[in-house]
Homo-oligomer: A and B are copies of this chain.
């Protein structure tokens, strides 16, 4: 695979056309044109080399030269996390965990959440950009903001490990790195700046979530998410 070709996100490579945003980036920013070779990523493991055959601003057209289906290499890690008041911090979390390797992020609304809404479009763009930059072939799934209690009520039986990282003093808490087993589908809950409430923690425990600590330091929400992701990567 030509590593030096510019990468573009294209959910449907077979359609032979880039979306509006990627087209703009190719033509106006990178000044690519007919005959140039580009790399396409569908975010679902497929990468392709293609030649630009038409420079229409509404949608750059390409012809595929070669296609590769890449295996997924990231651990099957899902993190449900309360987006931070300052959205930059949450965007940083998304970018870093996408680089390091994560499969799914579930933004949650909890009792102490300082942020009650997110702009999914914008966050999605960040993820795509991080995927392209980091050389991954799979785009992490990002869901709508989900109510924490609704999440606990939903079908979670597919997870082989479920953890809740909270800051309450709790004798039973062990280190995530001691408990996490490799190669298992895992869900980790990370609370907001003001932490989960005792009620939320109990509800999670009743639903099979094991309380864990991420170490002795008091970590910000986005840092906790990143540390959990690195931990899963190191144990994989």
Chain A residues with CB under 8 Å of chain B are: 73, 92, 96, 99-101, 133-136, 177, 215-220, 223, 226-227, 230-231, 233-234
Contact = CB atoms under 8 A, between A and B. Distances in A.
20 contacts: A99-B217, A100-B215, A100-B219, A100-B223, A101-B215, A101-B217, A133-B220, A134-B217, A134-B218, A134-B219, A134-B220, A135-B217, A226-B226, A226-B230, A227-B230, A227-B233, A230-B230, A230-B231, A230-B234, A231-B234
Q: Is the interface of A mostly helix, strand, loop or mixed?
A: helix
A219 B135 CA distance: 9
Contacts of A231: 230, 234
Contacts of A218: 99, 133-135
Which of A136, A177, A223 is packed against the most chain B CB atoms within 10 Å?
A: A223
Copies in the complex: 2
Contacts of A177: 234
A217 B96 contact: no
A216 B137 CA distance: 12
B217 A100 contact: yes
By Cβ-Cβ distance, the 4 closest A-B pairs, closest first, are A230-B230, A135-B218, A99-B223, A177-B234
A116 to B, nearest CB: 23
A73 B219 contact: no
Contacts of A230: 226-227, 230-231, 234
Contacts of A223: 96, 99-100
A73 B216 contact: yes
Contacts of A92: 92
